[in-house]
Amino acid sequence: MSNSDSDKQAVSPDVAIARLEGAITSALEEVHRLRGELSRMDAQGRELEALLRGVTSGEGGPREMVDRLHVLDEENRDLRARLKLGREGVEKLLKRIRFLEERR
């Protein structure tokens, strides 16, 4: 006898109902999960469509993006230079403080 033959013979109505409820619960959970995934995919699709519309309409085209990147690079260089000057100033102050502490 195979397993499926023994299962068919030994199943009571209560067990069959419990199995059916379990299967239905699993199926409903999977439907719920898939609905959530579909919602996320729809939102992502809308985001991509908006981005594509922006690029194709010229609002956010590659040229503007490159120009903005150059501006940001220049700002970064400026900020790095300011940080370097600030560090040098702090180092000078620390040297003066150490000198004064040694003279005490």
80 against 57, higher pLDDT: 80
Q: Which residues lie below 8 Å from residue 54, measured CB to CB, with a gap of 6+?
A: 60
The span from the CA of 89 to the CA of 85, in Å, is: 6
Return the pLDDT at 2. Answer: 53
0.85 cut: is pTM over it?
no
Q: Report in angstroms the alpha-carbon separations of 103 from 60, 90, 94, 95.
A: 62, 20, 14, 12
6 band by pLDDT with thresholds 50, 70 and 90? low
pLDDT in tens, 63-76: 777 787 888 899 99
